[in-house]
Amino acid sequence: MPVTPIYSFPYPALTDPPNGAAQIQALAEAVETEIDSLDASQSATVATLANPARAQMRASVATSVPNSTFTAIAFDLEDYDSAAGHSTSVNNSRYTSQVAGKYYITGGVGFSATVTGNKFLEWRVNGVAVGAGLNSYPAQTTNTSSFEARPMYVELAVGDYVQLFVQQLSGVTVSTSAGNSYMAVLLVRNNAL
């Protein structure tokens, strides 16, 4: 029996012997299979929209940042991680996408007061700087200051990872302020749906 070009539904050819019951059964089974597939896809869509991949990580310990060197912030704590994209012990500076799609990312880094040296925060995907993902701040002379990374949307495939890097230009190695750095990610569009 020939089939339709899009859904592969069977239909009798003009030269097929008449067998209405068998032909209708084959068509009905093909339609039922397609409806079942669409139902499963819709259920997955609803589940993903109701509970998108999201995570928020924090650094409870200071990160040592050498002068003029971009350094990834390590996050040893998780407030939540719905898709298991972050590890607190292995590559803990990374959030690794488990679901392909567009993610909203935000974060910040805390430093104790330093009289000299600008600070730079940069997003990287798979180790490569994200275009327009760099934020710079002048030296702060007050108490601990928090520097916010530029909130961005990034496209991640399964296995891609995002990191928050910081650089400082004080002339010496400076540590971040323990407990004042974070990164958060939220899936806003699932490419599989």
Q: Which residues pair with 155 in a beta bridge?
A: 102
Task: Specify the higher pLDDT residue, 174 or 43.
Answer: 174
> Does residue 119 contact residue 166 with C-beta atoms inside 8 Å?
yes
In sequence order, the 6+-apart residues with CB closer than 8 A to the CB of 18 are 12
Confidence of residue 102 (pLDDT cuts 50, 70, 90): very high
* DSSP string computed for 80-99: EETT----SSSSTT-EE-SS
Put simply, whether the predicted model's pTM sits higher than 0.85 gets the answer: no
- What is each CA distance from 17 to 3, 7, 27, in whole angstroms? 16, 23, 16
User: What percent of the chain stands above pLDDT 70?
Assistant: 92
- What is each CA distance from 111 to 78, 120, 145, in whole angstroms? 20, 12, 5
State residue 48's pLDDT score: 64
pLDDT tens digits along 33-86: 888 888 877 776 666 667 899 999 999 999 999 999 999 999 999 999 999 999
Task: Specify the higher pLDDT residue, 114 or 99.
Answer: 99
In the chain, the N- to C-terminal Cα span, in Å, equals 32
Task: State both tokens at 105.
Answer: 């990312």
The structural domains of the chain, ordered by start, are 1-50 (no CATH), 53-190 (2.60.120.40)
pLDDT of 152 above 90:
yes
Query: How deeply is 128 buried, as exposed, middle or buried, from its count of CB atoms within 10 A (0-12, 13-18, 19+)?
Result: exposed
Question: H or E stretch including 183?
Answer: strand 181-190
150-180 burial: b if 16+ Cβ within 10 Å, else e:
eebebebeeebbbbbbbbbbbeeebebbeeb
Q: Which residues pair with 168 in a beta bridge?
A: 67, 119
Question: H or E stretch including 20?
Answer: helix 20-50
